[in-house]
Amino acid sequence: MKQFSLLDLSPVPEGRTAAHALANTVDLAQTAEAAGYHRYWLAEHHNMPGIASAATSIVISQVAAATKTMRVGAGGIMLPNHAPLVIAEQFGTLATLFPGRIDLGLGRAPGTDMLTARALRRNLTSDEDSFPKDVQELITYLGDPGDGGRVRAIPGEGTHVPAWILGSSLYGAQLAAAFGLPYAFASHFAPQMLDEALDIYRRSFRPSEHLAEPYAMIAAGVFAADTDAEAEYLNSSQKLAFARLRMGNPGKLPRPVEDITAEIPPQVLAQVNLSLACSATGSPATIKQELRMLLDRYRPDELIVTGMIHDHAARVRSFELAANALRELKDERKAA
């Protein structure tokens, strides 16, 4: 592991508003920078009462303005929702305002339900090749002046904002390898294909002007507290939110509960636990051991951690404890 980073969905807790969530994001970002996180990513989701980062480029701008050195970016932008030129202009503007600090992760999922996707795009007509073509078009807009023909992204051209391919299946791994781009796997909610995706990406990678060798990042949930029991209690909010989403009842991030088995049907809880299995929950000693196991198994170039906790102060402390553990693990690997 060369670096460790943080993925924030700007969760809106029950009893709070989107304004609170966005203020919490800025506060957490400042804490993350002080704690040594390499990059801070935000994700595009729509029509979700519990997530406030829908206008992702605007939130990125706020976070970048509130921090000084940490990389800030999208993990990710759901490119089928947008014209490539629009994203090139947005992220070209961000890169112009914050040189050398902006990342652009790209996904092909809608980041919402299909009715909302239609409202975003006005129609859903596309062919199976549209995402690769859109990625190439977007990268061209951000390339050297003159490469994009008569249509130019201003600001944008010449910024060379680093593009990443995101995914939770094998498709993204194949595309990232073919384009010679860095790859991030969404193992924090869909770990089932992680082993195979990393193998495909690393075996099939073609060096490019963007990257000489494969660079893979995996995501993991982290819920850290003074004791294992307290961490499990904090984690119950995310499990409840995930279960309610699966049962067609999305809402704000629930308050934690002592007995989650009393809140979620057993078959749903089993599915939730499987989906969220790539995680570390517990005391500082416990999360360090669980994170070590993840790093030893998958050997990512970078680990990005995430975790939705209802109480903001507890969430900040969780990421501080995670940073301490990850710094120690990183130092151990350097010394080995």
Is residue 174 in some structural domain?
A: no
Is residue 298 in some structural domain?
A: yes
Q: Give yes or no for residue 129 having a pLDDT over 70.
A: no
Least reliable range by pLDDT among 90-104, 110-124, 232-246: 110-124
Task: Tell me, yes or no, whether 139 and 228 share the same domain.
Answer: no
Q: Which residue has the tokens 């130092």?
A: 331
Task: Tell me, yes or no, whether 137 and 283 share the same domain.
Answer: no
How many Å apart are CA 49 and CA 112, to the nearest integer?
Answer: 11
Query: If you average pLDDT over residues 24-30, what whole number do you get?
Result: 98
Is residue 245 in some structural domain?
A: yes
Provide φ and ψ at 104, rounded to 5°: -130, 95
Give per-residue pLDDT as tens, 274-296: 999 999 999 999 999 999 999 99
Residue that terminates a domain, selected from 113, 141, 161: 161
Residue that terminates a domain, selected from 161, 186, 208: 161
Domain tally for the chain? 2
Is residue 68 in some structural domain?
A: yes
How many Å apart are CA 11 and CA 8, to the nearest integer?
Answer: 8
Secondary structure letter of residue 156 according to DSSP: B
| 303 DSSP β-pair partners | 4, 218
- Quick one: tokens of 188? 């924090």
Runs of H (alpha helix) within 36-145: 56-66, 84-97, 114-121, 130-141
Task: Tell me, yes or no, whether 27 and 126 share the same domain.
Answer: yes
Greater pLDDT, 116 or 269: 269
Task: Tell me, yes or no, whether 31 and 154 share the same domain.
Answer: yes
Give per-residue pLDDT as tens, 166-211: 999 999 999 999 999 999 999 999 999 999 999 999 999 999 999 9
Q: Which residues in 171-204 are b (16+ Cβ under 10 Å) and which e?
A: bbbbbbbebbbbbbbbbbbbbebbeebbebbbee
Q: Write down the pTM of the prediction.
A: 0.94
| Cβ-based neighbours of 44, under 8 Å, separated by 6 or more | 53, 54, 56, 74, 76, 77, 78, 81, 107, 111
| Cβ-based neighbours of 142, under 8 Å, separated by 6 or more | 88, 91, 92, 153, 156, 157, 158, 159, 160, 161, 163
Task: Tell me, yes or no, whether 93 and 230 share the same domain.
Answer: no
Confidence (pLDDT) at 333: 80
Is residue 209 in some structural domain?
A: no
Greater pLDDT, 61 or 76: 61
Confidence (pLDDT) at 19: 98
Task: Tell me, yes or no, whether 241 and 316 share the same domain.
Answer: yes
Task: Tell me, yes or no, whether 227 and 155 share the same domain.
Answer: no
Is residue 291 in some structural domain?
A: yes
Confidence (pLDDT) at 145: 86
Closest CA to 139 of 54, 81, 69, 208: 208
Task: Tell me, yes or no, whether 225 and 157 share the same domain.
Answer: no
Is residue 81 in some structural domain?
A: yes
Distances from the Cα of 232 to the Cαs of 9, 258, 268, 310, in angstroms?
A: 20, 9, 18, 13
Closest CA to 315 of 5, 13, 3: 13
CB 304 within 8 A of CB 4: yes
Closest CA to 294 of 213, 197, 187, 189: 187
Residue that terminates a domain, selected from 133, 161, 189: 161
Query: If you average pLDDT over residues 56-80, what whole number do you get?
Result: 96
Q: Give yes or no for residue 124 having a pLDDT over 90.
A: no
Q: Give yes or no for residue 7 having a pLDDT over 60.
A: yes
Q: Give yes or no for residue 101 having a pLDDT over 60.
A: yes
Task: Tell me, yes or no, whether 222 and 324 share the same domain.
Answer: yes
CB 183 within 8 A of CB 214: yes
Domain span at 64: 1-161
Task: Tell me, yes or no, whether 125 and 226 share the same domain.
Answer: no
How many Å apart are CA 29 and CA 50, to the nearest integer?
Answer: 19
Average pLDDT of every residue of the chain: 93
Q: Band of the pLDDT at 110, cuts 50, 70, 90?
A: low
How many Å apart are CA 60 and CA 187, to the nearest integer?
Answer: 22
For the chain, state the CA radius of gyration: 19
CB atoms under 10 Å from CB of 315, counted, come to: 25
Measured on CA atoms in the order 239, 246, 174, 57, is the torsion positive or negative? negative
Confidence (pLDDT) at 123: 59
How many Å apart are CA 229 and CA 132, to the nearest integer?
Answer: 45
Provide φ and ψ at 263, rounded to 5°: -105, -25
Task: Tell me, yes or no, whether 157 and 269 share the same domain.
Answer: no
Is residue 328 in some structural domain?
A: yes
How many Å apart are CA 81 and CA 23, to the nearest integer?
Answer: 26
Would you call 160 helix, strand, or coil by DSSP?
A: coil
Confidence (pLDDT) at 113: 66
Least reliable range by pLDDT among 118-127, 175-184, 248-257: 118-127
Greater pLDDT, 172 or 120: 172
Task: Tell me, yes or no, whether 140 and 223 share the same domain.
Answer: no
- Quick one: tokens of 220? 């993991």
Confidence (pLDDT) at 12: 98
